[in-house]
Structure 1
Amino acid sequence: MKTLDQIAAELQGYDPNALPADAVDEFLSRLVEPVVQTERVGLFDALDRVLAADLIAPLSVPPHDNSAMDGFAFAGSQLQAGQALALRVVGTAYAGAAWQGELGPGQCVKIMTGAVMPAGLDTVVPLELTRIEGEFIQIPADALRAGDNRRLLGEDLMAGQPALLAGSRIGPAALGLIASLGLAEVTVWRRPKVAFFSTGDEILSLGQPPREGAVYDSNRYTLFGLLKRLGVELIDLGAVPDRADSLEAAFRQAASMADAVITSGGVSVGEADHTKAVMRQLGDMAFWRIAMRPGRPMAVGRLQQAGRSALLFGLPGNPVAVMVTFLAFVRPALLRLMGASQTQPLRVTARSEQAMRKKPGRTEFQRGIASRTADGSLQVRSTGSQGSGVLRSMAEANCLIRLDHGQGNVAIGDPVELLLFDGLI
């Protein structure tokens, strides 16, 4: 396991007092190692878990050639270009049981969607394309080609092939795919434990009476929501006052129980509190001033306690800065801890509905509202005030507008990158 100094030495131009956002991602990718323990879980408990090994298909899907729709099955070799075709219906093939009859030339079988294709038949004409005349159907000339409307054995997946790869995060479609293979359980990485708490004497917990100079703790609840959506195991340690003994006890407790610890507050340069001192005392730490807005201060490292190590992410105290730094850096790091192969959020491009002021030399995340124009293209506008304490604007937003490190001012109509909240938070 590399120390933080060793990781920093591997990064070209590393400067903790002016760290580009991209360098943060690179640093954390080297710091965070996935959990190594696995467990077997049933499908109803597998949603959002991460596969620990390739899932090999024990059977083919579908397990036989079958009809893609309701219609009539026949041998496609009987089709002739420019000629209609008349066929006599001699039976019906239902889904769930193979048809046992025999067919001769000029004959067909009525077939239902999903039914096994009778031997020797390879084409299905949809019911709506035919004209029925007693025991015969009439197929118009050039209405279809041989092989149409048949799903082949193994078309979705062949037995012996990987159905899902290790590192895949199991979503609803993957649950259905696993069930289609007849599997009731899968092997996944253990769910990481993440402890979180807020720090500061100005923090009030819900239920406490208001007092001058104090604010109610919102960070704990936004972090709870972000972590809950991510699917980790949560350890809520509440709000911790700015006293060395209280902070040390909280950090020791968190490190003894969790794989990762997240705090909010107490990491800014010049903070008159004990948080950073206790962090340094208990672990291998780095304190950053990131070239970004909002969320400049951040602490990362490892806490050592009772012979074990826990990752530590010290986030700023301002509510929006907490959410932005979590989404930009901590969420990808935790996905890596979970064993996921895809950790970075998908970015999309939209046209800006307004001009935005931006200084080159820092990455900015503005709260935005994305929408579709009349022609179907994606556009975005700011939610307004971008102060790092304006949590209301974060609640109104449906995306973050990411303005890159080297980017300058944005004009109306310019393309900008978005991190859409749908699927992210």
Structure 2
Amino acid sequence: MKSVEQHVSDLLALVSVPEATELDLLRAHGTVLAGPVVSEVSLPGFDNSAMDGYAVHAADLTQASPAAPVRLPVVADIPAGDPSPTAIRPGMCARIMTGAPMPTGADAVVPVEWTDGGSVQVRVERPAAPGGFVRRRGEDVEEGVTVLRAGTLIGAGEMGVLAAVGRRTVPARPLPRVVVLSTGEELVEPGRPLGPGQIYESNSYMIAAAAKEAGCEVHRHGFVGDDPAGVQDALEGLLLRADIVVTTGGVSMGVYDVVKEVLTRQGTVEFTSVAMQPGKPQGYGTIGPDKTPIITLPGNPVSAFVSFQMFVRPVLRKLRGLDPAPLPGVRARLSTTVTSPQGRRSYLRAVVAPAESGAEVAHTVAPAVRQGSHQLSALADTNGLLVVPEQVTELPAGSIADVLVLPGH
């Protein structure tokens, strides 16, 4: 059987980092910058007021106090966005709004709370420090400075920066388009009545959600039955909207493992066994005239979920232009003894939690009671995968183990 690391390596070799393109700002959300962004403007672009108040000469107010307030004539009103130049001579002031440009000559702003709020003449009861409540030109960003580097993931904060420096488009790698397909004659769409021997289809919903969590555009095709012609037609119909196809089911050794049957004929998909539990049967390759990558996962729900996290997630990260890093891991003290088959690496659903203050290891881990590859319910209660190495058949309670932390936890 193939090692987990070798299978990850083979899958990563299946895809290339896509070429960058200029994306409209909103479409760039969630993508990865393909080049640096250099600001062509300063932020702020001009000295402006940080408060609603009065633009003043600080020297006029050095003796101001509640007992001896200074009175200044208000010679101008300056709203935010005012394009007209204004100049303030000593002994005068201008009423100014937050964000409005500072008038020539003024070197401080007195907040309105320090005054009587006058519109013709204002009484000021506190001194003002030179530069007080003034946002200086370029104090946030200087023109010509790199504000975002290549490889930056564009989230809400980065989007704000891009808009603030005037970028309408950015060089980025588009989000991968992932198409998810499940197979099985026994499957029924949720919400419809079940017949004898039927089950609700859950894999495509689960894998589609996982692909969205991985930052991709996702199309859930749903599922098809075990007819080879139907599977072939479905796969061919998906290729126009897919940068990568992910299937679940039909990859083992059974008579009705139709995905394996259909794709084996094409000669571009390899099926293999990986030394892991759950998730032993795996497949990967390309389909169609454009050699679209396809990853075929087992049909048992937990096997499909674990396989996605271990194998598909790094591939999608590479397609996004990110480091195809594995799930983050922690060391944790095991609450109970667990067993594992010889020669296969087990990934057991578990709950990882912070240990008590002062503990030797920062985390504890408790494996879920239900570990069957068909037992999906425990996934909703767990936040990690407890790893039992291939050569280990038992980890006793109290031992230290490696745990992979699932996304969103």
Same fold (TM over 0.5): yes
**Preserved CA contact (<8 Å) 2:327 2:404:** no
User: Relative to structure 1, is the Cα distance of residues 173 and 266 closer, same or farther in structure 2, using a 3 angstrom cutoff?
Assistant: same
Q: Distance in 2 between matches of 1:249 and 1:365?
A: 36
Q: Distance in 1 between matches of 2:115 and 2:332?
A: 51
Secondary structure of 1:341's counterpart equals coil
User: Relative to structure 1, is the Cα distance of residues 256 and 77 closer, same or farther in structure 2, using a 3 angstrom cutoff?
Assistant: same
Select 1:137's aligned residue among 103, 108, 125: 125
Q: Distance in 2 between matches of 1:147 and 1:173?
A: 28
What is the match of residue 17 of structure 2?
A: 34
Q: Distance in 2 between matches of 1:253 and 1:68?
A: 58
Secondary structure of 1:135's counterpart equals strand
What aligned pairs does 1:327-346 form with structure 2 within 5 A after superposition?
A: 327-337=309-319, 339-344=320-325
What aligned pairs does 1:1-400 form with structure 2 within 5 A after superposition?
A: 17-20=1-4, 22-36=5-19, 38=21, 40-41=23-24, 43=26, 45-69=27-51, 91=74, 94-97=79-82, 100-104=86-90, 112-119=97-104, 135-139=123-127, 150-186=134-170, 188-206=172-190, 207=192, 209-212=194-197, 214-229=198-213, 230-234=215-219, 236=221, 238-241=223-226, 243-255=227-239, 258-268=242-252, 270-272=253-255, 273-303=257-287, 305-306=288-289, 308-337=290-319, 339-344=320-325, 347=328, 349=330, 354-355=335-336, 357=338, 362=345, 364=347, 366-368=349-351, 382=367, 384-397=369-382, 399-400=383-384
Secondary structure of 1:313's counterpart equals strand
Q: Distance in 2 between matches of 1:380 and 1:113?
A: 52
**Preserved CA contact (<8 Å) 2:194 2:200:** no
Query: 1:345: Cα distance to partner?
Result: 7.1
Query: 1:195: Cα distance to partner?
Result: 2.9
Secondary structure of 2:162's counterpart equals helix
User: Relative to structure 1, is the Cα distance of residues 23 and 78 closer, same or farther in structure 2, using a 3 angstrom cutoff?
Assistant: farther
Structure 1 vs Structure 2 CA RMSD: 4.6
Secondary structure of 1:138's counterpart equals coil
- Matched letter for residue 405 of structure 2: L
Secondary structure of 2:11's counterpart equals helix
Moved more, 186-195 or 27-36: 186-195
Unmatched runs of 5 consecutive residues or more in structure 2:
none
User: Relative to structure 1, is the Cα distance of residues 31 and 96 closer, same or farther in structure 2, using a 3 angstrom cutoff?
Assistant: same
Q: Distance in 2 between matches of 1:38 and 1:366?
A: 40
User: Relative to structure 1, is the Cα distance of residues 132 and 208 closer, same or farther in structure 2, using a 3 angstrom cutoff?
Assistant: closer
Q: Distance in 1 between matches of 2:112 and 2:385?
A: 50
Higher-Rg structure is: 2
**Preserved CA contact (<8 Å) 1:367 1:386:** no
Residues 112-154 of structure 1 show CA distances to partners (whole Å, capped at 9, x for unaligned) of 44333444666667677x68797333249xxxx8656544433
- Matched letter for residue 137 of structure 1: E
- Matched letter for residue 224 of structure 2: A
User: Relative to structure 1, is the Cα distance of residues 299 and 155 closer, same or farther in structure 2, using a 3 angstrom cutoff?
Assistant: farther
- Under a length normalisation based on structure 2, what TM-score does the superposition of the two structures give? 0.73
Secondary structure of 2:305's counterpart equals helix
Q: Distance in 2 between matches of 1:404 and 1:79?
A: 73
- Matched letter for residue 341 of structure 1: L
**Preserved CA contact (<8 Å) 2:48 2:134:** yes
- Matched letter for residue 386 of structure 1: Q
What is the match of residue 10 of structure 1?
A: none
Secondary structure of 2:291's counterpart equals strand
Secondary structure of 1:280's counterpart equals helix
Residues 193-244 of structure 1 show CA distances to partners (whole Å, capped at 9, x for unaligned) of 43332223443445464223x4332112222333345332526162231x44
**Preserved CA contact (<8 Å) 2:367 2:386:** no
User: Relative to structure 1, is the Cα distance of residues 131 and 256 closer, same or farther in structure 2, using a 3 angstrom cutoff?
Assistant: closer
Residues 355-386 of structure 1 show CA distances to partners (whole Å, capped at 9, x for unaligned) of 463769736252437589899x9876555423
Residues 306-357 of structure 1 show CA distances to partners (whole Å, capped at 9, x for unaligned) of 3x201011111111221222233213312322x3335547737586684463
**Preserved CA contact (<8 Å) 1:366 1:386:** yes
**Preserved CA contact (<8 Å) 1:89 1:109:** no
- Under a length normalisation based on structure 1, what TM-score does the superposition of the two structures give? 0.70
- Matched letter for residue 46 of structure 2: H
Q: Distance in 1 between matches of 2:50 and 2:33?
A: 31
What is the match of residue 14 of structure 1?
A: none
Q: Distance in 1 between matches of 2:389 and 2:58?
A: 60
Unmatched runs of 5 consecutive residues or more in structure 1:
1-16
Q: Distance in 2 between matches of 1:117 and 1:334?
A: 50
Q: Distance in 1 between matches of 2:326 and 2:103?
A: 47
